[in-house]
Chain A
Amino acid sequence: MFSLVIIAAVLSTSYISFKSLESAIIDSQLQQMGHEVEIKANLIDTLNSRASEDLLFAVKNPVFVKYFELPDTRAGNVYKDGVLQFTAQQRIVKEELDQWIYDFQNKFPVDETCLVDKTGQEQTRLVMKSIAPFAELSSREKATPFFKPSFQKNINQVYSQYPYVSPDTKRWVFAYTTPIVLSDGSKPAFYHFEIPLKSFQNITQVDQGRAYVLDPKGYLVADSGHIYNQSLNSAHFGQSPRDYFPSISTISTSSEFNKDVRNIMASNSTNTGHLTYSVNGELHYIVFKKLPMFGWVLAYEKPYSLMMSGNYNLQNLAVMLFLISLGVIAGGLLVVYLLSNRITRPIIDVAKKCRNQDVANLQKIDPIGKDKEINEVIYAFNEMIERVDAIEKQKDEFASMVTHELKSPLTPIIGWCQTLKNPKLIGQLNSKQLKAVDAIQRNAKRLQQLVGDILDVQKLDLNRMKFESLPVDINDLLNYMYNNLQNVMAQKNIEQTNSTKEQLTVKSDRNRIEQVLNNLILNAVDFVPSETGKIEYGAQSKGADVLFYVKDNGTGIPPEKQKNLFRKFYQIDTSVTRKHGGSGLGLAISKGIIESLGGKIWIESELGKGANFYFTVPVDRTNIVTSEKVMDVEKAAK
């Protein structure tokens, strides 16, 4: 649990720091890209305004007006074989004009300049620095898209033409025009510049990523990622932009991207902004700015990998964060391991020791290791055991006292019954009186038996039962019992046999052995049938022990009930007890006594085939270390 928390905490911290650094880098990249976009937009603007300014500057030369105010020019164009003819007067001024145009064009990268009159006739033309021969001057310039708009402009006004294919250079150009205005305000012609789209497209070149200019019609009029054919005669006049410019869809076909671009174009803001879209799972960042012409939008795009490339700091940091995370996780796990070693494991150990306690014999737990906290728990547990022991002891003492007190009234009860039945002492009772006294005496004796059994159990439990270690003549004991039992056996007409064949003596406690034998035999008496009942008992030598046995031909005891037989208050059948008057303690007491004497007691029986009880008694009890003696030794040691 601890481990997971530590790993999660470290990883999330690392992730957050990485993410914040990443976003800082992206922010700075976007800023840099924005700066680049501003510069490029400026360059485009400069190109545009310079073309306009230079055009206006050029037409300020009075030679233009001079030419068109010549009476010959005013008279109108004269053609011979479809070729425009110039008068001598015209030629003089035109030479001056052509020289000016030629000089001017050398100052500025203009593909073509020309002067077109109202009829659509070129009066002069300069293509790629060469002045066109008269014969090549076109008279069909009305067809150019800028013809009409050019005349709609006034003095000092420039018309910019959306890119088109120049009929002369056969490549895509921008056109700038401005009218020639005479002193009377008439506009007999316009002057015209063509600048190759190339010079504009060159501005969009970038080292990294992709820069492009989006046209509202869905073209990329410039794109660093596209190679435009910019050579002369590469296009044909009237070519559709669709056939020359790549489509916006080469950047992204995602509807989200298209929607974003449309929003930018619709907006009036010329501020830079940015947007993102995703291609194959990689995020692309675009910084854009709306240009003043044609609704165009300049965009600078970089994929995520490029945003991050060159940022060695970030890569290093990612590696460093990873290593630090690993280190912290390893450290954390080590701490968890040590903690579990120091705290969790001992706690589990202590818990196990507590659970494994024998309720009847609570043992204190030894302190574990040097850990104060754990040992505090152990001390607390031990104190609890002391208290429980003290309470147990009080309870036992109390029970013991109560039992003793129960005993004393029995003495006069039983004694008086005996006395009443003795005619020599206080006279003869009649038969009814005698019956009453018998009942009192019988029940008092039963009570006496119960109290005696309980006292025995208590003594055994408290290890307070004393045992003698005196020579016991077993043959004598068994014969004595045989004689004593004759009356009982005769009442049920039971056949009793003492089948002892050896001469046996043990050094032990005769009374206690007798108590156990008596208990087993009287139990047997209860369980054998009248008239056909047989009880055989006796003893035989068995190594260092004497083996006693009591066998009957009674109902027997089923195996599943045998293991509980020696437990306190266990009776196979409570109705039997009521009938036979046992306390339910006899076998528990027998077991306690035999074990205290250093022997074992057990039963072998099958239901319906009688029961055989066995117990052993060591030949010399003094050689046997019993639990009682162990206790004594422990007490002595203390």
Chain B
Amino acid sequence: MKILGIDDNTDINELLDTVLNGSGHEFTYVTNGTEGLKLIREKKFDIVLLDLAMPEFSGFDVRNSLLKEGLLSKQKVILFTASSVLDSEIEELIKKGVNSCIRKPVDVDFLIEKLEQLQI
């Protein structure tokens, strides 16, 4: 499936690139929210892995823009975060159209499993 990673941590992006592309998925990544938003507008992804804590244009901003532009339901959005975001805030976001949340650090095998579950 087509997966977009939006994360300012290149190491994670490279890791996911290796793992997901190696497992038969089509993984693209960008390192900031603005570019990510641009790509979502242009292309169709199955899943967006969205890091919340990014400088300038954060995961929250991306999610809010998607909501405004009616693009939130275009694909599944999985929050991918290790930042000090409270559970309650994440719960709030999940209620408002975000599909799931995966906390960093994450077991790679568990991540693949989780992504594949979501597609079904």
Give the distance to chain A from B48, nearest Cβ to Cβ, in Å: 18
Cβ contacts B1-38/A at 8 Å (1 or 0 each): 00000000101101110110011000000000000000
Residues of B near A410 (CB, < 8 A) are 104-105
Cβ contacts A509-523/B at 8 Å (1 or 0 each): 000000000000000
Is the C-beta of A239 less than 8 angstroms from some C-beta in chain B?
no
Evaluate contact between B22 and A424: CB separation under 8 angstroms: yes
Give the distance to chain A from B90, nearest Cβ to Cβ, in Å: 10
The interface size of chain B toward A, counting residues with CB under 8 Å, comes to 22
Chain B residue nearest to A455 (CB atoms) is B84
Q: Please report the C-alpha to C-alpha distance between residue A425 and residue B17 in the assembled complex, in whole angstroms.
A: 10
Q: Which of B11, B12, B86, B107 contacts A464 (CB 8 A)?
A: B86
Please judge, given known A-B contacts A401-B84, A408-B82, whether A414 and B19 are in contact too, CB under 8 Å: no
Q: Which of B15, B86, B88, B105 contacts A419 (CB 8 A)?
A: B15
Q: Which of B12, B22, B23, B82 contacts A415 (CB 8 A)?
A: B12
Is the C-beta of A407 less than 8 angstroms from some C-beta in chain B?
yes
Residues of A near B84 (CB, < 8 A) are 400-401, 404
Q: Please report the C-alpha to C-alpha distance between residue A411 and residue B53 in the assembled complex, in whole angstroms.
A: 15
Residues of B near A407 (CB, < 8 A) are 82, 104-105
Residues of B near A425 (CB, < 8 A) are 18-19, 22-23
Q: Please report the C-alpha to C-alpha distance between residue A426 and residue B23 in the assembled complex, in whole angstroms.
A: 11
Cβ contacts A405-444/B at 8 Å (1 or 0 each): 1011111111110110010111000000000000000000
Residues of B near A48 (CB, < 8 A) are none
Q: Please report the C-alpha to C-alpha distance between residue A407 and residue B108 in the assembled complex, in whole angstroms.
A: 15
Evaluate contact between A404 and B15: CB separation under 8 angstroms: no
Is the C-beta of B87 less than 8 angstroms from some C-beta in chain A?
yes
13 A-B residue pairings within 8 Å (CB atoms): A404-B82, A407-B104, A408-B82, A411-B15, A411-B82, A414-B105, A416-B15, A419-B108, A424-B22, A425-B22, A426-B22, A448-B105, A464-B87
Evaluate contact between A426 and B106: CB separation under 8 angstroms: no
The interface size of chain A toward B, counting residues with CB under 8 Å, comes to 23
Residues of A near B15 (CB, < 8 A) are 411-412, 415-416, 419
Binding site for A on B (CB under 8 A): 9, 11-12, 14-16, 18-19, 22-23, 82-84, 86-88, 104-109
Beyond contacts A412-B15, A419-B22, A424-B22: 12 other A-B pairs, Cβ-Cβ < 8 A, are A400-B84, A404-B84, A409-B11, A412-B11, A412-B12, A413-B105, A415-B15, A415-B19, A415-B105, A416-B11, A425-B18, A464-B87
Binding site for B on A (CB under 8 A): 400-401, 404-405, 407-416, 418-419, 422, 424-426, 448, 464, 466
Residues of B near A408 (CB, < 8 A) are 9, 82-83, 104-105
Q: Which of A401, A413, A419, A464 contacts B19 (CB 8 A)?
A: A419
Give the distance to chain A from B23, nearest Cβ to Cβ, in Å: 8
Q: Please report the C-alpha to C-alpha distance between residue A408 and residue B23 in the assembled complex, in whole angstroms.
A: 23
Q: Please report the C-alpha to C-alpha distance between residue A515 and residue B23 in the assembled complex, in whole angstroms.
A: 31
Give the distance to chain A from B31, nearest Cβ to Cβ, in Å: 14
Residues of B near A422 (CB, < 8 A) are 22
Evaluate contact between B106 and A415: CB separation under 8 angstroms: yes
Residues of B near A400 (CB, < 8 A) are 84
